[in-house]
Each structure stands twice: as structure tokens, then as C-alpha cells.
Structure 1
Amino acid sequence: MSTAVASRAENPPLTALASLDAEAFARDLQTLRTETEASVGPEDLAHGRKIERWGRACSLLGYATAWLAPNPLSAVLISLGNTARWTMMAHHVTHRGYDPVPGVPARLTNRHFATGWRRLLDWPDWIHPDAWRHEHNALHHGRTGETADPDLVEETTGFLRRSSMPLLVKYAIVAFFACTWKLTYYAPNTFLEWRRAERKRAGGPDEGETPPLITAFNPLNAEGRAFWATCLLPYAALRFVLLPALFAPLGAWAVFCVFANSVLAEVLTNLHSFAIIAPNHAGEDLYRFPDRARNRAEFCVRQVIGSVNYTTGSDSVDFVHGWLNYQIEHHLWPNLSMRQYQRLQPQVKAICEKHGVPYVQENVVRRVKKLVDIMVGKSSMRTLDARSS
């Protein structure tokens, strides 16, 4: 196949679902959800706190050894701690996964998590927590796989897919963004989407498309200045200035080592999160949708056929995957705890098999390969709209 964008003729609409009883499928899922709601209890909170401790322990051990010398072990531990605060804690808490748990502390509820000064404790990051709540929780989950989904890979990398540049150059561009994507994609994209929504909420006009991401990095405009002030400078100062400076009593070498390990950890965090997040809704065996679902039942079907799971099953496996290996269950019910996804996954898979709904689950390494093929234009996603289901 040439490096041009792969033809969709090779991935026709899913006509096999024409005979699917989507309402019956949705009813079975709703029955399972009702049973799950009745099982929410202290165990969910205890499990969430355990995973939080694992993440903080990684950060502590990473920095406890980071001053000795630039080394991959410290960087990996710091990176795992960073990823845990985002993909496991911020992700599930801001989705209100722990809000209904009896006795949950305020800091683990969406209303209080990473707000105000608690941002430095709960989730210090390039990404603004409120921007994440809007772009990810509202836009991405509300329009998963649709052309209007701000995180639809096939659309966000359209410039690369259509380019006639050599394939090797395309791979190099993908590698660059994989190493920097929290800074070069996620932080500015979530911020600009959030700011646009805030202006509209305040009575401003509908501005149409979100401004180009480069807008956020330009300090000569209001958006750029706000992005620098609320996202770039606070995180950079904390991660690459303040934390290394804390080791000054141990000497200049210690400060340099912590700085070097922090930089390496940032690259590893980007690579790790790219590998476990970006493939969630990309691949030639998954579906995208040019229109809105007609009803809740159809919406449920789309969440399954437009998402992919990785290897699942145990806390250690799930921790390494950032708990993003339950993407199908998460998109069906975003507001559940991490523990509940473990319990639900085999049952959801069985319901899908019962109704003939494709349930894709594959090793994350293979999914990264399929993601990259989409990004460089070697393959294309399948299409499904309301009229073909």
C-alpha cells in the first residue's frame, strides 16, 4: 500500500449490525449497571486509596533516588507517579467515580479534586483540571468517535495522513508528538476548548472551530498569556525548578541529577500515556461516526464498537495500563470506580457476545501499531452512521 491515506472502501460500514436488537442490548447493560450501583461500597474507596498510595510511592521512591545520578530507574518511578495521578486518580475522580461511595472524603470528589490550591497536591500537570473536565468529560465522552470528537485521532492527524512526505518522516513526526503530546497537544487542546466554552457560557457568540493549537503558545494574545500563566509556567516551575531546588543542600550535582531525571521522566510520561491513551479509539477494526446517535441504545452500541480494551484483570496489570485497559466499560459508564471496571469487564464482554456486538480486546503493543498506521495514513477506520445500523 502506498503512503497515501488508505481508502475507506477497504473498511465498509458495519452492515452486520442491521439485525441487532439494540434496545435488548441496552436493557441487558442497564440491568448490569443497576446491579453494580447496589454493590458500591467501602471496598471501592479502599481500593482507590490503595492505587493512589501506589502512585505516590512511585513518586517518593523516584525522587528519593533521583539526586544520586541521572538514571532510568528514578525517571521511570517518577513517570509512573505522574501517570497515576492523571489516568487513574484525576480521570476517575473527575468523572465522579467515587462521589456515590459512602464516606468518601471531599478531596476524592469531583467538586473538590484538584481545585484551587489542591491542584498542587492532587494533580499538578500541564493540563488545567477544569479544561480537562470540559474537553474530556463533556466533549470526548459526549461525542465519542464522531467527527466532532476533539480527540478523534483520524481527524486530529489529518494533516499528516494527507501529506505526501516520505513515510519515514511521518514516523519521525509521530515519535516527536509521542514524546511531547501532553504539552504539544493535550494541554493546549483542552485549554482552548474550555476557554471557548467559557466565553459562550458568558453570553458570547458561537465561535465555530477551536483556534489552532499554536494560539495557546503565543504570549502576544490573550489566550496565549492565559495558557502560559495557568498551565505552562506553574507546572514547569514546580517540576523543573522548585523540586530540583529542594535538593540544594546536597550540592549542585544533586540538583542537576534531579533536574535531569525530571526531564527524562517527563518524556517517559508522555510516551507511556500516549501508548495507553491514544490507541483507545483508533484502528482499522474500530468505527467512527459522522452523525449523532439517534437514541441511548444506539449510543451504547457505538461506545463498544468505537473503543478497545487491552489486557485486563489484576491491580498490577491495570496499574501499568493506567486503568485505561477498560475503555469499553468506561465509555458505557464513565462514572464508576476503578474496582467496578474490573468486576464488570467479563460480564460486559459476555453481553456483547450474546448480542453479536464486536468487542475488541488486544495487547496494547498491537494497538499502538494500529494507531500509528492510522496516524500516518496506512489504514483508515471503519464508518458507521445512524442510517446503516
Structure 2
Amino acid sequence: MTEQAEASTRSGEYAALLNEVRDAGLLRRRYRYYAWRIAANLAVFAGAWVAFAFLGDSWWQLGIAAVLAVVFAQLAFIGHDAGHKQIFRTRKPNDVVGTAHGGLVGMSYRWWVSGHNRHHANPNHEEHDPDLDIPALAFTSKQARLKQGFLRWMAKHQAVLFFPLLALEGLNLHINGMKAVWQGKTKGRKIEGALLTAHVVAYLTAVFLVLSPGIAVLFIVVHQVLWGIYMGCSFAPNHKGMPTMTGQSVDFLRKQVLTSRNIRGGWFTDFLLGGLNYQIEHHLFPNMPRPNLRLAQPIVRRFCAEHGISYSQTGLLRSYGYVLQHLHEMGAPLRAADRARAA
């Protein structure tokens, strides 16, 4: 078979899978699901702040901080779905929902969508996936070799540092999103700028107005750290430790399946990870509504088996093991080089 014929055949494979999924009705919008999901999130969000006001200056507020960390992540998951047009069919209403949710958690929806779309176009691609371009970590041997100074030290010990670094993810989302808005790198700069400013002012005013300075600072630290860890732990298992692409020309079906990992589990895992546990199905059909992903999974898994395409699925804790193992292996040559120089 010629290269052109093979490419045509593989393109036809995805078209066949897409038709099967569409015929099953899994690309239809789920308005009722998103209505109650958004309403429930907003109710808990409002309830947490009401409880915050009633509790007053108390150490029990750290429990509210933990609850808000979970709520912020759930709100961010809705923003993620809106960014992929999973809620409505057209872009504008999705952007309204996504921008509003970004304002609630203090991050730029437009900035995040831009980077996330580039990730979806080239998942785990060493040169084109922004999720692999993290200065403090080395996901490939080439990245590890290029590290210098303190970043090289971090890469050597990145498996140990990985979860502590996730504690800074919330801060990263706040700062980089705000920088993108202030520098005019996003659309809707005025509305997002107003929402982010309102978020910061309202958040800090509420915290320091109700709490004494020491408890206020601790509240912010607990809230932001737990939110960052939650967000990082939700996205990390999806691709880290899976094959990376470097200049290869791979068809869409295989590019998305081979670089993604699903997380095994039931309804609680679906809730905990916001549907990201069906990463393979999500990457194959980015605009598929979240509740339909679990229904698409058996179709996709059977299709992959029939066409000899490796389909990766594991438990949540085991997935973190794979991530840490991969990071440890990428840092191994650097540790070995240092030992050789010391000898």
C-alpha cells in the first residue's frame, strides 16, 4: 500500500468511528445536564461564602477554604467544557459561560482556551504542545539535556518535586492569565480585565474584612494550594508518561489515542475529574458533552481493538505512579552525569 493510500485508509477509520458515535446520538447537546450542574456548582459556591460570613474569625474557616478549592475546580471544569463547545452548539453562548466562570475563579478563560486548543491539536508533541513546555520539568530526554543551572537541579529531582510544584498551579493560572489580559494577548480584554479585577478585589476584601490577618493569610494559602493541587492532579494523569511525538506524521485517530490515558472508575471518578478521566474519547471528540463520554468509551475501545490501536486505561493512583516513574526516568541521565563527574 502506498503512503497516500495508507493515509486515506486511516482517515477513513476516524470517519467511520465518528459516524458510529454520531449515529448513537452522543454528539447531541445535554442542556438539562449542564443546567443542573452549573446551578449546583453556583449553589455550593454561594453557600460556602455565606457560611464563611457566618463563621467569622475562626480557624474553622480553613474547612471553608478546602470546600472552595473543590468548588473552584468544578467551576473550572465547566469553563473547560464551554471552551470546547460542549454545552452549546455555537461559540458565543459557550464563551459567555466560560468567561463568567473564569471570572468566578480568577483566571482568564480566553488565555486558557488558546493554550488548551494548541494542546489538543498536538498532544504530547515535544515542539508544539504547550503542556510539555514547563521550565521546571523535563518530559523528554531532549528537554532534560537542555536544562541548565537551577532548572537542571529541579529536573534531576522532578519526581520528588512534582506534587509540591502542583501547589503553585493555582497561582500560575491566576498570574499568567492576568498577564495575558493586561498585555492584550487575549480577545475580550476589557470584560476579562474587569472580571479579574473584581475577583481579586472582592476576594481579598472579604477575606481580610472577616478574618484576622494571620487566619486570612492561612485561608488564602490553604485555598489556593489545594485548588492548585486539585487542578494539577486532574490534568496530570491524562498524558504524562504516554508516548511523545517529535516531528512524526501520525493520523488524527492514532495521534489522539496513543498519547492519551483514561482513568478507570465510576460516578465518583467522573465527578472528581470532571470527565477528564475519559481523555481518549475527549480528545477524539472534543465537543462531545461531558456525560456522553462514558457512553462513547465502549464504542471507542472496541473500535481500537478491532484496528490494533493501543488503548491505555488504568486506575487513578496507578496513573500517578506512571507519571512519577516517567519523570524519574527523564531525570536519571542528569543524576548519572553528576555522579560521574563527582567520581
- TM class by shorter-chain length? 0.7 to 0.9
Structure 2 residue aligned with 1:129: 109
Shift of 1:169: 5.0
Structure 2 residue aligned with 1:80: 70
The equivalent position to 1:263 in structure 2, one of 218, 221, 225, is 221
Question: Is 1:61–1:74's contact at 8 Å kept on the other side of the alignment?
Answer: no
- Flag the structure with higher helix content: 2
Structure 2: which 5+ runs fail to align?
A: 1-5, 333-343
Question: Is 1:62–1:76's contact at 8 Å kept on the other side of the alignment?
Answer: no
Shift of 1:27: 3.3
Shift of 1:340: 1.6
Partner SS state of residue 94, structure 2 = coil
Matched, 1:324 2:276: yes
The equivalent position to 1:93 in structure 2, one of 82, 96, 99, is 82
Matched, 1:280 2:238: yes
Question: Is 2:82–2:98's contact at 8 Å kept on the other side of the alignment?
Answer: no
Shift of 1:110: 2.1
Question: Closer, same or farther in 2 for the Cα pair 1:47/1:312, shift >3 Å?
Answer: farther
Structure 2 residue aligned with 1:311: 264
Question: Is 1:131–1:191's contact at 8 Å kept on the other side of the alignment?
Answer: no
Question: Is 1:125–1:231's contact at 8 Å kept on the other side of the alignment?
Answer: no
- Range with greater deviation from structure 2 (21-30 or 188-197): 188-197
Task: Give distance in 2, aligned partners of 1:379 and 1:193.
Answer: 35
Structure 1 residue aligned with 2:246: 290
Matched, 1:142 2:142: no
Question: Closer, same or farther in 2 for the Cα pair 1:74/1:123, shift >3 Å?
Answer: same
Question: Closer, same or farther in 2 for the Cα pair 1:258/1:59, shift >3 Å?
Answer: farther
Partner SS state of residue 167, structure 2 = helix
Structure 2 residue aligned with 1:237: 201
The equivalent position to 1:34 in structure 2, one of 1, 22, 34, is 22
Structure 2 residue aligned with 1:110: 94
Shift of 1:195: 6.2
- Range with greater deviation from structure 2 (167-176 or 316-325): 167-176
Question: Is 1:70–1:257's contact at 8 Å kept on the other side of the alignment?
Answer: yes
Shift of 1:369: 2.5
Shift of 1:373: 3.2
Matched, 1:157 2:137: yes
Q: Which amino acid aligns with 1:129?
A: Y
Shift of 1:37: 4.9
Q: Which amino acid aligns with 1:149?
A: D
Q: Which amino acid aligns with 2:243?
A: Y
Task: Give distance in 1, aligned partners of 2:224 and 2:273.
Answer: 17
Partner SS state of residue 334, structure 1 = coil
Task: Give distance in 1, aligned partners of 2:280 and 2:182.
Answer: 25
Structure 1: which 5+ runs fail to align?
A: 1-17, 202-225, 381-389
Shift of 1:29: 1.3
Task: Give distance in 2, aligned partners of 1:63 and 1:197.
Answer: 32
Question: Closer, same or farther in 2 for the Cα pair 1:231/1:378, shift >3 Å?
Answer: farther
Structure 1 residue aligned with 2:255: 302
- Range with greater deviation from structure 2 (30-39 or 157-166): 157-166
Task: Give distance in 1, aligned partners of 2:27 and 2:110.
Answer: 30
Question: Per chain length, whose mean CA-contact separation is higher, i.e. which structure has more relative contact order (CA < 8 Å, sep 6+)?
Answer: 1
- Range with greater deviation from structure 2 (161-170 or 334-343): 161-170
TM-score with structure 2 setting the length: 0.75
Shift of 1:292: 5.9
Q: Which amino acid aligns with 1:303?
A: Q
Shift of 1:267: 0.9
Task: Give distance in 1, aligned partners of 2:157 and 2:135.
Answer: 19
Shift of 1:179: 0.1
Question: Closer, same or farther in 2 for the Cα pair 1:166/1:140, shift >3 Å?
Answer: closer
Shift of 1:334: 0.8
Question: Is 1:153–1:375's contact at 8 Å kept on the other side of the alignment?
Answer: no
RMSD, aligned CA: 3.9
Q: Which amino acid aligns with 1:287?
A: P
Shift of 1:112: 2.1
